Structure 1
Amino acid sequence: MSRLPRFSRGERAIHHLTALLMIVCLATALCLYFPPVSTAVGRRDLIKPIHIWAGYLLPLPMLLGWISRAFRDDLRRLNRFTPGDWEWMRRKDRRDTSGGVGIVEVGKFNAGQKLNAAFTAGAILVMLATGTIMTFPSPWPDDWRTGATFVHDWLFIGIFVVFLGHLWYAVRDRGALEGMTTGSVTPEWAAEHHSEWFREVNGQSPPARP
């Protein structure tokens, strides 16, 4: 069986551009606010504008993505939790392929991917709002500026941890990484990890495991 198309070229471009801008935001934030890195790097006058511009550009790839029907279809998938997703979250053996109770049936995205997408989208909006208050402080009262700084700094830590976790899981799952880098996956990987999506694409049940 030939490889299955998973992500269009436009979807991959959106993901890669968003990831690049996120890396720039995180790296420049470390240079600005983490004292050991800030002291070693210096050049605050150069790094701060890069951080601000990268932050304002961060939502742009996803906004442009609305042009792509494939991207809009995947957003609808990401925005919908199914009974299989709740089971996926409860089960400790959801990735067990050795037999037993078997693998949890999920669609194109599992619950972890859906939660990561929701957190990332929400975090971008919150960071954009709080960053705007910090960048243009004059119109805002003192308590707004203080609150924005507090939320911005602590949410940065959360984003950094989630980003590293996302990268860790991507590197460990070669099939998922191939899907996002090449746009296609093997039928075996799809049947094992996203069996409902396998049926949706092929119109048939996954092949039986030995």
Structure 2
Amino acid sequence: MTRPKGTLIRNPTITRINHWITAACFVLLTLSGLAMFHPLLFWLSNLFGGGQWTRAIHPWIGLVLVVSYAGMIVQFWRDNLWTKTDLEWTLAIGRVLANEEESVPEVGRFNAGQKFVFWSMALLIPVLLFTGILIWDYYFETLTSVGTQRAALLIHSLAAIAAIIIWVIHVYAAIWVRGSMRAMTQGYVTPGWAWRHHRKWFRALAATGSPGPEPHVDDNKTRK
């Protein structure tokens, strides 16, 4: 797809594919996990062909998610490092929510909210992987005790609930900030969007004359 003239590349094709594979896996894991979480939600197992299929496919989707999110980490870990600007941005979150970003500290490619989602998932997914392996009866039932499995199941469930809440916040924010969904579906944003929401990132592109994506922006360096 050809982007409109004058727009900026926010997410290359490979990034968007990686993102949507991760998103699809997360949705499927949420649905299949909820089906096994409580009897009232067991009807969701029909989406996967029944209870046995749901139980069988859930951990394999989880492995795909781990590999896919590892790809996201490789691409974005440096742009998601925490900086002093992020703390200032967080303290001004009220103005961000009120769409009064002119007086909010400038941010690079990702703001503090996006970094929170990134690192929270980077922490929770390994927890879900490790605890998921401990309760994967088909392969590991004989290697773990009942007490260990019960503890792992509790931690797995709590981590999953936390991940779902963070995912909901992520989706809501993407819809709330107009133009953000297009960045991940079509890959581009307008200069006005970049200037308003990620001004330091925009300045980096302008300085290099590149339409994006740009090299890592060091948010700790203040603009002269």
Same fold (TM over 0.5): yes
Match of 1:202 in 2: 206
Q: 1 or 2 for the larger relative contact order (CA 8 Å, sep ≥6)? A: 2
User: Any idea what the Cα deviations from partners look like across 1:8-50, whole Å, max 9, x if unmatched?
Assistant: 1111111100000011100001111122121574621111112
User: Any idea what the Cα deviations from partners look like across 1:83-127, whole Å, max 9, x if unmatched?
Assistant: 21110111121355558x712211000001001001111111100
Query: How far off is 1:59 after superposition?
Result: 1.4
Matches within 5 A, 1:21-170: 21-39=25-43, 41=45, 43-63=50-70, 65=71, 72=74, 74-78=76-80, 80-91=81-92, 92-94=94-96, 102-135=103-136, 136-170=140-174
Moved over 3 A (4+): 39-42, 94-99
Q: In the alignment, which of 186, 192, 204 is matched to residue 182 of structure 1? A: 186
Relative to the length of structure 2, the TM-score reads: 0.80
Which whole-Å CA distance do the structure 1 matches of 2:128 and 2:103 have between them? 40
Match of 2:20 in 1: 16
Q: Secondary structure at the match of 2:144?
A: coil
Query: How far off is 1:203 after superposition?
Result: 1.5
Q: Per the alignment, do residues 40 and 179 of structure 1 end up closer, same or farther by CA in structure 2, a change over 3 Å counting?
A: closer
Q: Per the alignment, do residues 103 and 133 of structure 1 end up closer, same or farther by CA in structure 2, a change over 3 Å counting?
A: same
Which whole-Å CA distance do the structure 2 matches of 1:6 and 1:109 have between them? 11
Look up the equivalent residue of 1:10 and give its one-letter code.
I
CA RMSD, 1 decimal: 2.1
> Is the contact between residue 7 and residue 184 of structure 1 (CA under 8 Å) also seen in structure 2?
yes
Q: Per the alignment, do residues 146 and 73 of structure 1 end up closer, same or farther by CA in structure 2, a change over 3 Å counting?
A: closer
Relative to the length of structure 1, the TM-score reads: 0.86
State the identity %. Answer: 28
> Is the contact between residue 108 and residue 196 of structure 1 (CA under 8 Å) also seen in structure 2?
yes
Structure 2 unaligned spans of 5+: 209-224
Query: How far off is 1:160 after superposition?
Result: 1.4
Which whole-Å CA distance do the structure 2 matches of 1:17 and 1:40 have between them? 21
> Is the contact between residue 32 and residue 44 of structure 2 (CA under 8 Å) also seen in structure 1?
no
Match of 1:191 in 2: 195
> Is the contact between residue 10 and residue 188 of structure 2 (CA under 8 Å) also seen in structure 1?
yes
Q: Secondary structure at the match of 2:103?
A: coil
Q: Secondary structure at the match of 1:56?
A: helix
